[in-house]
Amino acid sequence: REKEEAARKAAEKEALARVPPGELFKQGEYADLYSKYDDDGLPTHDKAGEELAKAQRKKLAKTQAAQKKEHDKFLAKAAADQLGKTTI
């Protein structure tokens, strides 16, 4: 039972890591929360069209930076896996 839970969480984490940081706030749990984004995909306005507070944008930028780190790890792992397949 614990193994199933661990496997499910690992699968969720990998699925989230596949999402590019610029797309993070445009899908999933964030999909309907924001209406406008900057060039990096960071939300600038909420769904009502109100500009986000500076503190909220800063918090979202921190979340996006963490997503970039996880996404980069995923890409590196995928590239390593691909290299392993081609050398065999």
pLDDT value at position 1? Answer: 79
For the entire predicted model, the pTM comes to 0.81
Inform me whether the pLDDT recorded for 88 exceeds 60: no
Inform me whether the pLDDT recorded for 81 exceeds 60: yes
Give residue 54's pLDDT band: very low, low, confident or very high (50, 70, 90): very high
Average pLDDT over residues 48-68: 97
d(CA 25, CA 41): 7
Residues 6 or more apart in contact with residue 66 via CB below 8 angstroms: none
Inform me whether the pLDDT recorded for 82 exceeds 90: no
30 within 8 A of 46, measured Cβ to Cβ? no
Please state, rounded to an integer, the average pLDDT across all residues of the chain. Answer: 91
